[in-house]
């Protein structure tokens, strides 16, 4: 499966709101740590959560191996390391 968003963005412009919500329950201490990290990165807490989750999604669903591990044919491309079919 190829990554529809290879640059790893979250689908929302930085600083602008996304259109769907996900509720995540954390302790007050964890929330404060996340908020402090977001402030240190000069981004919103929401953007920190979106980008962190999107990074994990990309690592889980899409092949991240270097090009030298790919076998390419005119009709398809596969990763020799993880077996993911990158192009049909």
The pLDDT assigned to 59 comes to 81
The pLDDT assigned to 61 comes to 83
CB 30 within 8 A of CB 23: no
Rounded to two decimals, the pTM is 0.63
Enumerate the domain spans of the chain.
Answer: 28-87
In sequence order, what DSSP letters do the residues of the chain get, joined into one string?
---SSTT---SS-TTS--S--------HHHHHHHHHHHHHTTS-HHHHHHHHHHHHHHHHHS----GGGEEE-SS-EEETTT--EEE-
Q: State pLDDT tens for residues 50-80.
A: 999 999 998 888 888 888 898 989 999 999 9
Q: State pLDDT tens for residues 12-64.
A: 566 666 788 999 999 999 999 999 999 999 999 999 999 999 999 988 888 88
């Amino acid at each position: 499966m190829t990554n529809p968003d290879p640059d790893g963005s979250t689908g929302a412009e930085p600083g602008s709101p996304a259109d769907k919500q996900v509720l995540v329950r954390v302790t007050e201490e964890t929330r404060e740590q996340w908020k402090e990290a977001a402030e240190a990165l000069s981004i919103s807490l929401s953007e920190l959560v979106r980008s962190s989750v999107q990074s994990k999604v990309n690592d889980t669903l899409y092949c991240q191996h270097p090009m030298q591990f790919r076998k390419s044919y005119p009709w398809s491309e596969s990763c020799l390391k993880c077996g993911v079919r990158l192009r049909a």
